[in-house]
């Protein structure tokens, strides 16, 4: 984790400063500033458009009773793209613009979905190993419960993580 944070907070800004200095020497200060501002504006506009389309797709899938996993992952990547595009610099703009293209997002989404499917399966296995159906029928986990012939029994719940 330290390496990733070091990369984001130290190495990337140093690279950005070096690239901005090179572009500034080549094109001039005000042209470079104008390009940085223009890419931030254009990126924010594109992220907003694609984000609204993704939100509409999420709402459609939810209305149909489906889980919008692809859309949620795409929405998170659009959020990252927006942050990268608003951050001043050409390197972060390049990564942000890459995330605006559907094929790039699809490759990353496929990788992320594989990771989450493994985690979801593991969590299911842990749950089924800890509790069985008989444990809930016997009410052995609730010391204040008694059999009331199918009536609802009120009680307190405490989550222990």
> CA angle, 95 as apex, 82 and 120 as ends, to 5°?
75
In this structure, are residues 36 and 20 in contact, taking their beta carbons and an 8 Å threshold?
yes
Q: Is the pTM of this model over 0.85?
A: no
Q: Residue 51 sits in which domain range?
A: 2-132
Q: HSE, CB side, 13 Å, CA atoms: give it for residue 20.
A: 20
Task: Please indicate, yes or no, if residue 161 is contained in any of the structural domains.
Answer: no
Does residue 63 lie in a domain region? yes
Task: For residue 87, tell me if it sits in a domain.
Answer: yes
pLDDT for 23: 93
- Exposure on the CB side of residue 8, measured as CA atoms within 13 A: 8
Q: Is residue 149 part of a domain?
A: no
In the chain, the number of structural domains is: 1
- The answer to whether residue 151 is domain-embedded is no
Task: Convert 67-84 into a string of H (helix), E (strand) and C (coil).
Answer: CCHHHHHHHHHHHHHHHH
Query: What are the tens digits of pLDDT across the range 85-124?
Result: 888 889 999 999 898 888 998 898 888 777 765 444 444 4
Per-residue pLDDT of the chain (161 residues; tens, 9 = 90+): 788 888 788 888 899 999 999 999 999 999 999 998 998 888 888 888 888 888 888 888 888 888 887 888 888 888 888 888 888 889 999 999 898 888 998 898 888 777 765 444 444 444 444 555 555 555 544 545 455 556 666 777 677 76
- Longest CA–CA span in the chain (Å) reads 83
């Amino acid at each position: 984790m330290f390496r990733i944070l070091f990369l984001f907070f130290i190495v990337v800004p140093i690279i950005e400063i070096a690239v901005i200095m090179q572009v500034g020497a080549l094109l001039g200060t005000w042209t470079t500033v104008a390009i940085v501002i223009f890419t931030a504006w254009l990126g924010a506009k594109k992220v907003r458009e694609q984000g609204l389309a993704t939100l509409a797709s999420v709402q459609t899938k939810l209305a149909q009773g489906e889980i919008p996993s692809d859309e949620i992952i795409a929405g998170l990547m659009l959020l990252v793209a927006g942050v990268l595009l608003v951050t001043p610099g050409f390197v972060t703009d390049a990564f942000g613009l890459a995330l605006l293209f559907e094929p790039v997002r699809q490759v990353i989404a496929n990788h992320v979905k594989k990771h989450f499917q493994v985690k979801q399966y593991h969590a299911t296995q842990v749950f089924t190993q800890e509790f069985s159906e008989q444990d809930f029928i016997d009410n052995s986990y609730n010391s204040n419960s008694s059999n009331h012939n199918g009536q609802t029994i009120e009680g307190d719940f405490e989550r222990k993580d």
